[in-house]
Amino acid sequence: MVVDVAGEIASLRALLYSAVQDREAAQRQTAELWRELERVRSTGAGGASSSQGAGGSPSLLEAQLAGAVLREMDLRLTTEHAMDLQGQRDQLQGQRDQLQGEIQTTQSERD
C-alpha cells in the first residue's frame, strides 16, 4: 500500500487552516454577540422596544450567543483533532523513515 505523504500533509494543513479560520470567525461572532447582549441588557425595559426593532431581544441574543459558543467549541475540537492527526502522521512518518534506514543498512551490509 502506497501512501501519498505529501498529499496527506497538504490535506491536513488545509483542514487545520480552515478550522483555525472558522474558529477565529466564531470567536469574533461570540464577542460581538456578548457586546450586543450587554448593550440590550443595559438599556433595560425602557429600551426594549427599540432593541427588539433592531432584532436584539435578550432571549434571541442569548440563543444566538449559545449557538455561537457551541460552534466555537465544535471548531476547537476540530482544530485539536486535526492537530492530533498531524502529530500521528509525523510519528508514522518518523517510523517509516527509521524503517527505510534499517532497510538501507541491511542492504548495504549484504553488499
Joined together, the cell numbers standing for residue 54 give: 433592531
List the Cα angle 28/31/33 in 5-degree steps.
110
How far apart CA 70 and CA 73 sit, in angstroms, is 5
Q: Per residue of the chain (111 residues), give pLDDT as tens.
A: 666 777 877 888 888 888 888 888 888 888 888 888 788 777 764 444 444 444 567 788 788 888 888 888 888 888 888 888 888 888 888 888 888 888 888 888 887
Looking at residue 21, its amino acid is Q
SS3 content of the chain, % helix, strand, coil (to 5): 90, 0, 10
Domain count within the chain? 1
Domain range enclosing 95: 5-110
Hey, how many other C-beta atoms are within 10 angstroms of the C-beta on 110?
Answer: 6
